[in-house]
A and B are shown apart, each in its own frame.
Chain A
Amino acid sequence: MNENEEFNKYVDNFKKLSTGRKKEETIKQMKKMLAFIWALKEKTGIPFSVLYNREIIDAKDKTVSEDDFVEAVFVYIHIIKEAFAEYVDCTIGKEEL
């Protein structure tokens, strides 16, 4: 089974979860991504400069509402986007891009 087939199966099983669990898993995956970037920054000595918005607090509960969930995802994406861009800026530099 190739990677994409595994991924498809993984997504299929994700689809069978309850909506609450799907939200939980989605937030978890974004946190992993964020942690990864921060780890990279740590290893390369890049200081933290984190965006923050209190909307992500609402996503901690499994029974988060649709509105709160979407707002939290929106905030996470921006945090990840900014953190990654900062990492790229500090490691490769704008001139090399």
Chain B
Amino acid sequence: METEYEKLKKEGYTEEEIETKLGPMSRLSIDSSPMGQGRNDRSVTFTDKDGTVSRGSNIMVGYNRRNIQLPNGTYVGIEEFSRAMTKFLQEDAENKVIFCKKTGKRVNIGELVNGLREVAKSQTGLELHGTTDKMRGNAYEYSIKGESARRILLGKKIQLDCGQWVSEEELLNAMRDYVYLSAPDKTPPVPKPDSDQAGISLEPGSDKTGIEPEPNNTRVDNQEIEDVTTTEHVNKRRKAKIAPIILATLLTATILLSMIGKRADNIMATRTETTATAGAAITEVVEYREDRYEEAINNVLNSVQGSAVGDTISVPPGVIYFYASPNNDISKSRTGIIGETPERPAGEYEIFGVSVLDKSGERILDTEFEKGTTIADVVQRACENQNIDLDQTSLRISLTNTGWIEMNDLVKKVLENEEITPDDVVTAYHSEQTYDAVQEDFTDSVTFKTESGEATIKVRNDDGSLVETGTILEGSDGKLYRLDDVEVEQKDTVTSYVERTEEKRTFSVSNIEGNIEIAEVSLFVTALATALAAIYDKRREEEYEKSAKKYDNNTKFNETVTHMSTASTKAGLNNGNNENADTSEYTGGPRL
């Protein structure tokens, strides 16, 4: 496997540049390594401070229905980065001044560090949580942008800092926005080189530091900074550590500015017509059970398959190992159980070799003992050579100085150790046909046509947010539907005299029997609704008065009152049809 060092060397980096590029920091390199169709799993290589490189198990983003973004590339730990930055400034940056290229202002180191923290919060791709109780050895839990902590197996010798890990590329890119100068030095600027390379800072103590601020005057005009900055792109890769921190400040400022802009928009919105369009995909669920069990199995399988010969894997107590070679009948071999003797404790074991057998376990299809070959590669090779599917194979792993273990047994014991049982099985069976619909007058539900009629599902939570994709919802027709996708697009149109909000949402709905149906509805709330309400109120009033008159005219009450009025005009009573009737009209009575 090509190391980072070899890769950089091949790209033409000098030894010094490589040293700078790699630095004394740990790194985590993520490459795409899908474990199956529709999955989004990534293979991971670790490089610790000493430069030790190890292939770990894959990072599992699984089917990634939540669309968690984890770009490939190198990631560095924020804590370690901060320490390296501090160390660098203390040792190498004496009498140096850092300027922000865009503002021309001197940047305070404390601000840089704080800015770095802010960037970490918004840019973090990965967070390592440390070892777990259930997995002994070098197994860390991790989460991606706060989503679902899972477990990753590190190489035997690898120790990494826990905390937030951010993309190194992002940090390096940010360096271009800053200059780093030696303090008073009259050396003329370094000529602008032809090539444009990442990196920014100047060589500490070097004569090539270019323009520097005058004593007691740190201001540098933009052109000078631009020139210096461009220059610094060339050779100063070694100082890469400093730029990301400076970047943090820049990004923080950018974020603040964008927030201010947003606030201004919001003020405008008081006179804005809003049009929202949402697209969604919904699949009818035929049967629903949770699938934690299956997912747990896949996680263990993928973790192991991502390991290579020579790597270590964590073996929980209870796993049976066999002294026999894989082509023997292991049922007749001498066996032992991991964790039952002091010589074979549960924990990390090195993979000595791997053997792929047919499903019955009687015929060997492939065997591999060469270090660095991943188990997944061996299995794939066996399947291709034998022209069989993966589910027609079984797997045995040879542990150094221990014996063979069966993959199925390993998975079973891991699940038992984590107390995940088949009772936890949750599976959602669903169809693949979808309905598409556009609906106006959207509040929180969408109605769509099915083969058997109409169904309505609520796609907005009580707090006003849209329901997460992947959520199972019950339709008004009693059937279950899975919301596969929801997309909302909102458009604001400024009006000076009418404030109106129009929401238009598009939904794609799938049903097991359904054909694609499109329905369009338009909803106007506010001015139009208010006008209609006034019209309806007037109509209701008219209808009421009409029916009241019709009813009252025929009542005995009215008949009597009319008679009394006729008999004595001084009685002061209405005939009952006068809507202004009031006791005050009765001249003899009190006014109420």
Residues of chain B contacted by A28 (CB below 8 angstroms): 579, 581-582
Residues of chain B contacted by A9 (CB below 8 angstroms): 547, 550-551
Residues of chain A contacted by B547 (CB below 8 angstroms): 6, 9-10, 12-13
Name which residue of chain A comes closest to B570, CB basis: A42
Are B586 and A35 in touch, CB under 8 angstroms?
A: yes
A81 proximal to B (CB < 8 A):
no
Are B589 and A48 in touch, CB under 8 angstroms?
A: yes
Answer whether A34 and B592 are a contact pair too, CB < 8 Å, given A6-B554, A10-B548.
Answer: yes
Answer whether A36 and B557 are a contact pair too, CB < 8 Å, given A17-B541, A31-B581.
Answer: yes
Interface 0/1 of A44-57, CB less than 8 Å to B: 00001010100010
Residues of chain A contacted by B571 (CB below 8 angstroms): 39, 42-43
Are B537 and A38 in touch, CB under 8 angstroms?
A: no
Interface 0/1 of A1-43, CB less than 8 Å to B: 0010011011011101110010001001001101110111011
Least CB distance from A32 to B in Å reads: 5
Answer whether A10 and B550 are a contact pair too, CB < 8 Å, given A35-B589, A39-B564, A43-B568.
Answer: yes
B583 proximal to A (CB < 8 A):
yes
CA distance A48 to B574 in the complex (A): 20
Are B568 and A35 in touch, CB under 8 angstroms?
A: no
Answer whether A34 and B583 are a contact pair too, CB < 8 Å, given A10-B551, A43-B568, A52-B590.
Answer: yes
Which residue in B546, B551, B573, B579 is a CB contact (below 8 Å) of A36? B573
B561 proximal to A (CB < 8 A):
yes
Are B576 and A13 in touch, CB under 8 angstroms?
A: no
Residues of chain A contacted by B550 (CB below 8 angstroms): 6, 9-10
Are B573 and A35 in touch, CB under 8 angstroms?
A: yes
B429 proximal to A (CB < 8 A):
no
Least CB distance from A18 to B in Å reads: 7
B585 proximal to A (CB < 8 A):
yes
- B interface residues with partner A (beta carbon < 8 Å): 537, 540-541, 543-544, 546-548, 550-551, 554-555, 557, 560-561, 564, 567-568, 571-574, 576, 579, 581-583, 585-586, 588-590, 592
- A interface residues with partner B (beta carbon < 8 Å): 3, 6-7, 9-10, 12-14, 16-18, 21, 25, 28, 31-32, 34-36, 38-40, 42-43, 48, 50, 52, 56, 79
> 30 A-B residue contacts at CB 8 Å?
A3-B554, A9-B550, A10-B550, A12-B547, A13-B546, A16-B540, A16-B543, A16-B544, A17-B541, A18-B537, A21-B544, A25-B544, A28-B579, A28-B581, A31-B592, A32-B574, A34-B583, A34-B589, A35-B574, A35-B589, A38-B588, A38-B589, A39-B564, A39-B572, A39-B586, A39-B589, A43-B564, A48-B588, A48-B590, A79-B592
**Closest 5 pairs between A and B when the two form their complex, measured CB to CB:** A38-B589, A10-B551, A13-B544, A10-B547, A35-B583
